[in-house]
Structure 1
Amino acid sequence: MPGFLSWMSGLFFSDKPNRVSAPESRLLNPAASTENSTETDPALVHQLEEYLFCWLLDSPPTALHSEAGRWEHILEDLRERIATGALNELPRQPMTLPKLMRALSDDKSDRNQLTEIILDDPALTDQLLQIANSPYFRPGDQSIDSVDQAVFVLGLDGIRNVISASIMRPMMAARNSREALFAQRVWRWGLTCARSAELIAKIQGQDSSVYFMSGLLPALSYITLRRELQRICHAEPGMTEPPASLIHDALSRYQWATSQLLANEWNLPPKYHALLMAAERPAPRQRHTPLNDGIIVGTREVLRHAHQRNMPEEDVLSIIHISGPQFTRVRKVILDVLEAGSKARA
């Protein structure tokens, strides 16, 4: 599995940027053209992004755009923190991650060595077993009761994704009741986009190992930005919580720059930065990456499953770079895990 091993080894032998700029950008960026159409209407994906924010922030469209311009001094403070890498809420690289990645990238490592590393971290062990038994990962109805069984049943590719999700999950868990709904929805959205991006990468014959973690980074950036805003707002007279319009502006402007900061902080290799940049600012007529398509498909399907406004299927197919039958195949997998997740929460 050269692609998987090269992804892992790259985590520890790469130069990382010293500074990350914070340009304004959009989450969903269509390429100039697709295999199915000659022209893409940016309004389609921008509208889908607005629907996503309405759901994540549990707010009507009018609330997202109220008091325009009032929060520019707060947004400028946030922009400066991002540009200088000074976000207080930026999650640091988990201590267990380097050891795990070295074990996974070493051809001489066996299943027992990997199991021992995971078991040495009780918190990670608990998270991993919960994640491995979630609808996004568990194969069929078979319950996974031990770390050794998880490694055996899921294989290296599967356990790599479970480790990524297990490491990120505690960072995205709600700290209080005020952010509970937002954190829950962002996590569900992030997992759906990550799974969609991975499935699309496999369909296109690309190395899918980078796309699952990349698909989770925007979701982690959302919770990071919201918490940073809360810190800033606590210093503002008369403010305790950032309003929906401020959160909306911050997320829509700085989601990609914060994702880049996360990749930088976690020492992810240069190809992650390149992938994130290509997703943020597609060059004219460049081929869409699975990350772009995965976020579009994941966003559409999670909104549709939550009975929110979303995008018609014909519009999805006019934007993404997989065929109708391939989209149907990806969508079936995503709907199955979303439905299973709903039953598990009931």
Structure 2
Amino acid sequence: MPGFFSWIADFFTKTKPSPPPATEARLFNSAKTITSGDTADNTQGLSVQLEENLFCWLLDTGPANLRAEHALPDKALQELEYRLSNNKMEELPRQPLTIPMLMKALSDESGGRQKLSQIILGDPALTDQILQVANSPYFRTGDHTIESVDQAIFVLGMDGIRNVIAAAVMRPMMTARNSREALFAQRAWRWGLTCARAAEFIAKLRGEDASGYFTVGLLPALSYITIRRELQQILRSQRGDGDPGIALIRDALTRFQWRTCQLIASEWNLPPKYHSYLMVAERPVPDQEQATLIDGMVIASREVLRHAHQRNMPEEDLEKIVHLTPEQTGRVRASLKAVLSEGARG
């Protein structure tokens, strides 16, 4: 697996390279060893189909439109590649001002809840976002409404409030700017939160960094809205038309989703281990121990599609591409099903 430093070296190239050939299933890069009776092509095909189903739902289209011909693909994607490689993304979400203070307070176990509460209350917009997220179906632990930051910290605990803060910080960045991107933004946010909770739940089962996996589980959804907006900017400058079209959006997301995640993590000065989690998901080694993010995103995507009554992966095929026992998979699915059902009722 190429190291993180080789990825950084590529990051500073000054030329505009041609975009790489489109590859399938770049989102779901399964690291599971092929079992008897299966073939690599069959396993890859399951991942490809799940990814295609997800894009159909996110972009509200049919499979044929994902691969339709589109105008100026090379020129637009070359410019997107150049901006990513040279840190010139105009739509890249900048680090929120309160993030460094919050991360320091969350990592300081001697600081206590009062210090954390003071930092949050110093930013009224963040306070409102945290209370909204804490009372959403993804975090609410009972029937009672959480009415204050102190109550949120007390009810959810430090691990729970870490995740609420991560989601609250990212939520405004995922809010639709206009009606044209409204459905995409809404669905991407639902998918991102579900991926984050799935990765968090699996990390807990494995005794891993649950809060870290929750945060990186949100980044693919944030990268999607970032890439789409950047592509719209590029097309407006190249041809005066900011509508990329379904197929071009899909190509851009498929090729650049993980690089954009890494760029956001760098821009926000997230810990090095977060970069490692993303790298493992992008370039997995067979049967590696850190398949948590991959497994969480696969199960979450399947559950989101199932809940939305979309084309989906058969349940019996899940075990072929995730590193969980059937019992563990069932527990994760049950948790996500409850969250999604509560969200629909809300």
Same-fold call, TM cutoff 0.5: yes
Match of 1:197 in 2: 199
* TM-aligned CA deviation for residue 203 of structure 1: 0.9
Q: TM-score, normalised by structure 2?
A: 0.91
- 1:98 aligned onto 2:89: no
Match of 1:230 in 2: 232
Q: Percent identity?
A: 57
Flag the 1:297–1:32 CA change in 2: closer, same or farther, 3 A: closer
- 1:53 aligned onto 2:51: no
Match of 1:31 in 2: 31
Q: TM-score, normalised by structure 1?
A: 0.91
Specify the code of the residue in structure 1 equivalent to 2:267.
E
Instruction: Please state whether the residue corresponding to 1:235 is helix, strand or coil.
Output: helix
2:276 aligned to which of 271, 274, 285: 274
Equivalent pair of 2:277/2:290 in contact (CA under 8 Å): no
1:71 aligned to which of 73, 87, 92: 73
Instruction: Please state whether the residue corresponding to 1:236 is helix, strand or coil.
Output: helix
Equivalent pair of 2:233/2:242 in contact (CA under 8 Å): no
Specify the code of the residue in structure 2 equivalent to 1:138.
R
Flag the 1:78–1:154 CA change in 2: closer, same or farther, 3 A: same
Equivalent pair of 1:33/1:39 in contact (CA under 8 Å): no
Report the Cα distance in structure 2 between the residues aligned to 1:36 and 1:142, rounded to whole angstroms: 50
Report the Cα distance in structure 2 between the residues aligned to 1:18 and 1:86, rounded to whole angstroms: 16
Equivalent pair of 2:29/2:283 in contact (CA under 8 Å): yes
Equivalent pair of 2:54/2:301 in contact (CA under 8 Å): yes
Flag the 1:106–1:238 CA change in 2: closer, same or farther, 3 A: closer
Instruction: Please state whether the residue corresponding to 1:242 is helix, strand or coil.
Output: coil
Match of 2:4 in 1: none
Instruction: Please state whether the residue corresponding to 2:130 is helix, strand or coil.
Output: helix
Instruction: Give the number of equivalent residue pairs.
Output: 329
Q: How far does the alpha carbon of each residue in 1:214-253 deviate from its partner, in whole angstroms, 9 at most, with x for none?
A: 1000000000000001101111335231101110000000
* TM-aligned CA deviation for residue 110 of structure 1: 1.4
Match of 1:175 in 2: 177
Q: How far does the alpha carbon of each residue in 1:156-211 deviate from its partner, in whole angstroms, 9 at most, with x for none?
A: 00000000000000000001111000000000000000100110111112221210
Specify the code of the residue in structure 2 equivalent to 1:31.
A
Residues 1-346 of structure 1 mapped to structure 2, 5 A cutoff? 17=8, 20=11, 26-33=26-33, 40=40, 41-67=43-69, 70-237=72-239, 239-287=241-289, 289-344=291-346
Q: Which runs of 5+ in 1 are unaligned?
A: 1-15
Larger RCO of the pair (alpha carbons < 8 Å, separation 6+): 1
Q: How far does the alpha carbon of each residue in 1:78-121 deviate from its partner, in whole angstroms, 9 at most, with x for none?
A: 01111111100000110011111111111321111111110110
Equivalent pair of 2:70/2:245 in contact (CA under 8 Å): no
* TM-aligned CA deviation for residue 34 of structure 1: 6.4
Specify the code of the residue in structure 1 equivalent to 2:194.
T
Report the Cα distance in structure 1 between the residues aligned to 2:307 and 2:234, rounded to whole angstroms: 34
Report the Cα distance in structure 2 between the residues aligned to 1:30 and 1:277, rounded to whole angstroms: 13
Match of 2:15 in 1: none
Equivalent pair of 1:17/1:264 in contact (CA under 8 Å): no
Specify the code of the residue in structure 1 equivalent to 2:173.
M
Report the Cα distance in structure 2 between the residues aligned to 1:111 and 1:146, rounded to whole angstroms: 13
Instruction: Please state whether the residue corresponding to 2:60 is helix, strand or coil.
Output: coil
Report the Cα distance in structure 2 between the residues aligned to 1:39 and 1:273, rounded to whole angstroms: 31
